[in-house]
């Protein structure tokens, strides 16, 4: 009897050891699952319906903005929209079709005089002007065009890129614009501060937001007469309005352009150097 019990115990122990030997390799063959390598985070893009100024690198710092956007640098037409910033968000106040230079658009810092290109960039608007009286509600300083009003574009003149009443001796009439001759275009307008504060000779002079003529401009931005009047009635110099000129994409994209036509990346590189 004792021999039988010993044999039974031996058989049970052998079976247990056999089971362990069989199952152990399977356990080793199933290692813990590996954790997938982490992927670099990708910054989220703003929703497509985000107002244009909220997607822009530079809006001029004020609470009013005019955007003049063309589809491409070769375009001569596009859209002008004027915006108000209210409680931290931009709201469109109006929009209209616009015209650009016959030579298309180019970054303002690269523009050359006489190319009929519109300078892309973000610019202040120093004052308004017109052959016709200012529309009701105009708050901007409004300069009336007279028969003695000229815009000097003579690179050799101390009055380069300036309005003058009476043509100075050093500004040749062939290198100046007699403003009263443009009764339709200069009925009303705003001076765009391109190449204005510290004029670079040869870069260009006399860039305005003005009323449409017959077609593309010589470098200005133009809009229908009713739109020009509406913008003048809306613009408030206390709110520091600027105009941003650019394209839908590419190196002059309105969303990326800053100042005189640099991109935000170029401006950051200049600061870092």
Count of C-beta atoms within a 10 Å radius of residue 102: 15
From start to end of the chain, where are the E strands? 64-70, 77-86, 89-99, 105-107, 118-124, 128-130, 142-144, 149-152, 162-165, 176-178, 189-191, 208-211, 221-223, 242-247, 257-258, 262-263
Q: Which residues of the chain have pLDDT under 50?
A: 1-29, 40, 42
pLDDT, one tens digit per residue, over 17-28 is: 444 444 444 444
pLDDT, residue 33, reads: 56
pLDDT, residue 163, reads: 98
pLDDT, residue 46, reads: 59
pLDDT, residue 182, reads: 98
pLDDT, residue 42, reads: 45
What is the reported pTM? 0.81
């Amino acid at each position: 009897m004792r021999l039988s019990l010993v044999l039974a115990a031996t058989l049970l122990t052998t079976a247990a050891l056999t089971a362990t030997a069989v199952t152990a390799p399977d356990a080793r063959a199933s290692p813990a699952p590996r954790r997938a390598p982490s992927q670099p985070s990708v910054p989220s893009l703003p929703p497509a319906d985000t107002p244009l100024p909220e997607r822009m690198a530079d809006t001029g710092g004020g609470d009013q903005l005019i955007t003049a956007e063309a589809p491409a640098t070769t375009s001569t037409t596009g859209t002008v929209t004027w915006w108000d910033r209210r409680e931290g968000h931009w709201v469109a106040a109006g929009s209209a079709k616009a015209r650009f230079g016959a030579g298309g658009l180019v970054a303002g810092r690269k523009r050359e005089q006489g190319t009929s290109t519109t300078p892309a960039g973000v610019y202040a608007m120093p004052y308004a002007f017109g052959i016709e009286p200012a529309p009701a509600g105009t708050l901007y300083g409004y300069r009336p065009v007279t028969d003695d009003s000229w815009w000097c574009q003579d690179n050799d003149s101390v009055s380069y890129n300036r309005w003058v009443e009476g043509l100075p001796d050093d500004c040749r009439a062939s290198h100046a614009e007699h403003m009263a001759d443009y009764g339709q275009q200069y009925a009303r307008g705003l001076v765009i501060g391109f190449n204005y504060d510290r004029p670079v000779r040869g870069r260009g002079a006399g860039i305005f937001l003005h009323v449409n003529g017959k077609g593309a401009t010589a470098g200005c931005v133009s809009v229908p007469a009713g739109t020009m009047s509406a913008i003048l009635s809306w613009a408030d110099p206390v709110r520091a309005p600027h105009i941003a000129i650019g394209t839908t994409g590419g190196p002059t994209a309105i969303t990326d352009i800053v100042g005189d036509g640099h991109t935000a990346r170029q401006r950051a590189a200049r600061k870092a150097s």
